[in-house]
Amino acid sequence: MKILRSILSIFGILLLSNSLFGQALTTDIIKGHMIADWERAKAYTKEYLEAMPEDGINFKPGPDLRSFAEQMLHMSQGTIGLIVSGTGAIPIFQGKSLEKMEEFKTKAALTQVVLQTYDFAIASIKNIDASKMENLVKRGKFEVTQYDWLNKAFEHQTHHRGQTTIYLRLKGIKTPNEKLF
Q: Are 22 and 34 in contact (CB under 8 A)?
A: no
pLDDT category at 72 given cuts 50, 70, 90 is: very high
Residue 69 in any domain: the answer is yes
Taking CA atoms, 85 is separated from 70, 82, 128, 168, in Å, by 23, 5, 11, 31
Q: Are 114 and 45 in contact (CB under 8 A)?
A: yes
Q: Is the pLDDT of residue 58 over 60?
A: yes
Q: How many domains is the chain built from? A: 1
Who's near 82: CB < 8 A, 6+ residues apart? 149, 150, 152, 153, 156
Residue 107, domain CATH: 1.20.120.450
Residue 54 in any domain: the answer is yes
> CA 62 to CA 70: how far, in whole Å?
13
Residue 181 in any domain: the answer is no
Residue 119 in any domain: the answer is yes
Q: Are 125 and 34 in contact (CB under 8 A)?
A: yes
- Mean pLDDT over residues 78-99, rounded? 96
Q: What is the pLDDT of residues 155-180, one digit of tens each?
A: 999 999 999 999 999 999 999 998 88
Q: Angle formed by the axes of helices 27-51 and 146-170, to 10°?
A: 20
Q: The whole model's pTM is what?
A: 0.85
Nearest to 109 by CA among 44, 57, 157, 180: 57
- Mean pLDDT over residues 130-134, rounded? 87
Residue 178 in any domain: the answer is no
> What's the confidence (pLDDT) of residue 24?
62
Q: Where in the sequence is the domain holding 65, given as residue range(s)?
A: 2-170
Q: What is the pLDDT of residues 134-151, one digit of tens each?
A: 999 999 999 999 999 999
